[in-house]
Amino acid sequence: MAQANPPATHALPSYLQADHLGPWGNYLKQVDRVTPYLGHLARWVETLKRPKRILIVDVPIQMDDGSVAHFEGYRVQHNTSRGPGKGGVRFHQDVTLSEVMALSAWMSVKNAAVNVPYGGAKGGIRVDPRKLSLGELERVTRRYTSEIGIIIGPNKDIPAPDVNTNEQTMAWMMDTYSMNEGATATGVVTGKPIALGGSLGRREATGRGVFTIGMEAAQRIGMNIRGARIAVQGFGNVGGIAARLFAEAGARIVAVQDHGGTISREAGLDVPALLEHVRITGSVAGFAAAETMADDAFWSVPCEILIPAALESQITAVNAGQITARMVIEGANGPTTPEADDILHERNVLVLPDVIANAGGVTVSYFEWVQDFSSFFWSEDEINARLVRIMKDAFAAIWQVAEENKVSLRTATFIVACKRILQARELRGLYP
């Protein structure tokens, strides 16, 4: 990593280590790849390499046993040139500043790629939520919300669910922010319960976006989805929903991996039964109607489509050569390292990058935010139809840019998105 990103290249901020850039290093490489295509806007490219604002907070809470525990919390606003920051909050024991920075930057790109009027932001707490009681989890969430309350708001920065956070987490965040402000502010977060101003279709939106983009790409490369074999990593809101929609379209889900283990069935897994099993047990492990396989073997499973929908940096230079799929649809954020990207490109594997493939969630988050402001709510059919239209239009534009410039879909998405971000920067200028 150090050799690929020498400090001089990016004049790295002092709070980062040049020899250990983590996910932020991957993002910087992606920016480098897009820079030659930015034309006169390249003057502003440093804008993309530095987050606008980083807040690191201490999150102290009283545990159930009376002791006091301290957790590290982050909120990073990468760019707000096109609108308020937007991005999720994850609870994970391995969350780092580099990770949250990269995720916030990918949100900037993602929001610009589908042309919703948001900048990019992300948050996280270094905590293993499985080790906390419900009461402790609530106290962590509320304290974190209070600590970052100075920089979030319906017109400033709008958090949403991410890894290990859900509707309940958002309800606590919304309530805490509202109590501190002295007025109910439903638009401060998205991904809320329906009863608190959440949007129909939000829970399934990211998975539906993955499915929509996958179908569009399959059509363009002449792949028949009916009978196509699909392997899915991660079986939550993204991977599980995408698997269900692909199965309904006639595909076979032949392998699934999550934190509990890896299962397979050549004839195709019963997706509704597996979803129910995961809901009850919390993992795909132990699903009776499937064979167990070694975790490492997942990457070489014979399939036409691979959907990484778990965490970042899963497809690496080590396993990219084993992948048999013709198409990779990135349901997770940053699941493929730049080195793996190159390997897949050389092997003619079509990668549908996260910054467009999983943008369904933030698109419906935008709908939720708009509905909260107007206090007028749409039907689920209306929301799904608007989502599909936006995703299809965005993908068509990106496909065209990729064809014209003879670049990967990831670089094409970055070209479209970064031009929009930097054009906003140029038009707004520098203040003061």
* Residue 185 φ/ψ region, left for φ over 0, alpha for ψ in the -120 to 50 degree band, beta for the rest: beta
3-state helix/strand/coil string of 121-190: EEEEEECCHHHCCHHHHHHHHHHHHHHHCCCCECCCEEEEECCCCCHHHHHHHHHHHHHHHCCCCHHHCC
Strands 157-161 and 291-293: unpaired
Q: How many Å separate Cα 234 from the centre of its chain?
A: 13
- Cα separation of 207 and 239, whole Å? 6
Residues carrying an active site annotation: 122
- If you count them, how many residues does the chain have? 432
- Cα separation of 193 and 310, whole Å? 23
Residue partners of 285: CB distance under 8 A and separation at least 6: 258, 260, 261, 263, 292
Query: Which residues face 132 on adjacent strands?
Result: none
Amino acid at 211: F
Q: How many Å separate Cα 299 from the centre of its chain?
A: 21
